[in-house]
Amino acid sequence: MPLSAVRRSLATAGTAALVLATSCAAAEAHVRVTPDTATPGSYVTLTFKVPTESATASTTKLEVDLPTDHPFGSVSYQPVTGWTTTVTTSKLATPVKTDDGEITEAPTKLVWIASADAAIKPGQFQTFAISVGPVPDTGKLELPAHQTYSDGSVVNWNQAPTGSQEPEHPAPVLYVNDTPPDPQPTINKPTVSASQVAEQATSDNTARWFGVGGIVLGAAGLVAAVWALTRRPRG
């Protein structure tokens, strides 16, 4: 194979590996909340998973906005080592009537700030758990999150989903009476257990990263081929 052709193949393979690796990382980089469903009137523990998607900066601060049109009556948080947590309670612009009476003020924001050693470094993630309730009797509750990095940049996870299309920076959402969007077809969908779902997710992630590894190894092979061709004595 001519040297120029090998170089073109190497460039193509390297680009493919980079694109695939980037897309895999982007899919895992969103700030998400679990569970994403709750029953009206219940108390539920919500866990925000916060990965650091920057390659050069660490996550140092997380803010979560709580709903004010359908507020939670109470909010508590689970301590995270190395992080200070603040819950802000505000007077509501419009009082909310509930079965327990009228609510005039409610928790409206949580803020976590990391000490220097506790910041979420590139390639890491942290979880932040809160207990909220009673869950308002409504369709869904958006919980916008704001992720601050050590370089001063801020990523706002506050975009509302539109149908089955996920925006670039989706807000974490707790679905109450509404049904969470399902990107997969529902026709003839087989019933699976929670353990099967977990196994499938693990298998899918493993296959995805093996695919990335295969492309990277292929690119490495082409590098070796180029090296061999350039080092071969010419007759």
Quick: pLDDT tens for 35-80: 999 999 999 999 999 999 999 999 999 999 999 999 999 999 999 9
C-beta separation of 106 from 134 below 8 A: no
Q: Is the pLDDT of residue 17 over 80?
A: no
d(CA 175, CA 82): 31
Q: How far is CA 191 from CA 164, 194, 196, 197, in A?
A: 21, 10, 10, 10
Query: Under the phi-then-psi rule, with left for phi > 0, alpha for psi from -120 to 50, and beta for the rest, what region is 174?
Result: beta
For tokens 């924001």, what's the residue? 109
Summarised one tens digit per residue, pLDDT across range 124-175 is 999 999 999 999 999 999 999 999 999 999 999 999 877 667 889 999 999 9
Q: Is the pLDDT of residue 16 over 50?
A: no
C-beta separation of 125 from 53 below 8 A: no
Summarised one tens digit per residue, pLDDT across range 177-226 is 999 987 544 444 444 455 554 554 455 555 555 554 555 555 555 555 54
d(CA 29, CA 158): 14
* Phi–psi pair at 28, nearest 5 degrees: -95, 0
Mean pLDDT of the chain: 79
pLDDT of residue 67: 96
d(CA 118, CA 100): 40
pLDDT of residue 94: 86
Q: Is the pLDDT of residue 121 over 90?
A: yes
Report residue 100's pLDDT band, with 50, 70 and 90 as the boundaries: confident
Report residue 22's pLDDT band, with 50, 70 and 90 as the boundaries: very low
pLDDT of residue 87: 98
Q: Is the pLDDT of residue 18 over 50?
A: no
Domain ranges of the chain: 1-30+206-235, 31-177
pLDDT of residue 14: 47
Q: Which amino acid is at 225?
A: A
pLDDT of residue 160: 87
Residue from 47, 46, 73, 65 nearest 136 by CA: 73
d(CA 105, CA 40): 20
CATH number given to 31-177? 2.60.40.2230
